[in-house]
Amino acid sequence: MKLFVKFDFNVVCTKILVEKLEEFGIKYAMLGFGEVEVLEKIPSEVYTAFTKALDEYSIEIVENQKSILVQKIKDTIVDMVFNEETINIKTSAYLADQLGHSYGYLSNLFSEVTYTSIENFIILQKIEYTKQLIIEGNLTLTEIAFKLNYSSVAHLSTQFKNTTGITPSAFQRIISKRRDILKK
């Protein structure tokens, strides 16, 4: 038997982080997604064990200032793409406002550290969200394109195919066939 699971990355990661912080007795305050203020000095052996425990979930503590800001950019983009209230806001203005730096600086830093552009990262996140929405099966491609602020289904389809190698319709057929097989 197969199960199709829907989950929120932010909620899952935050829950794991909170559980591990409490497991290791670390006093903390959650400042936002992926940002924790440690309220007291952590002994080095506890810190080492804590980072190892997080590593089991592919969660790592970012210590380089540039990497921290790039991670904040990624988190802000993911939040923007997956949040219906912010998907239609202009990305450059939203990132500059949320992170307190000019978009030019954020864009250059992101490209320097990740070797890709903010625009490409946004496209990848939109395609991931599109796949999730297709799997859920509640919306048509037209509705998905509108929800993700694409100018047309053709524009969404082009980006989807360039990213995944197949069209959204082909992806829908694959998901449909898998569901049919599982029903047997």
Looking at per-residue pLDDT, the higher value among 158 and 12 belongs to 158
Say whether both 99 and 148 belong to one domain.
no
User: CB 62: neighbour CB atoms within 10 A?
Assistant: 14
Q: Rounded to whole angstroms, what are the CA distances from 72 to 38, 116, 148?
A: 18, 16, 21
Q: What is the pLDDT of residues 96-154, one digit of tens each?
A: 999 999 999 999 999 998 999 999 999 999 999 999 999 988 899 999 999 998 999 99
The pLDDT assigned to 1 comes to 63
What confidence category does residue 58 fall into, taking pLDDT thresholds of 50, 70 and 90?
A: confident
In a domain, 76, yes or no: yes
Between CA 90 and CA 96 the distance in angstroms is: 10
Say whether both 177 and 123 belong to one domain.
yes
Say whether both 50 and 77 belong to one domain.
no
pTM for the model: 0.69
The pLDDT assigned to 108 comes to 94
The pLDDT assigned to 103 comes to 95
Say whether both 145 and 109 belong to one domain.
no
Q: Which domain holds residue 174?
A: 119-184
In a domain, 109, yes or no: yes
**Percent of the chain whose predicted confidence (pLDDT) is above 90:** 49
Q: How many domains does the chain have?
A: 3
In a domain, 29, yes or no: yes
Say whether both 28 and 13 belong to one domain.
yes
Between CA 164 and CA 128 the distance in angstroms is: 10
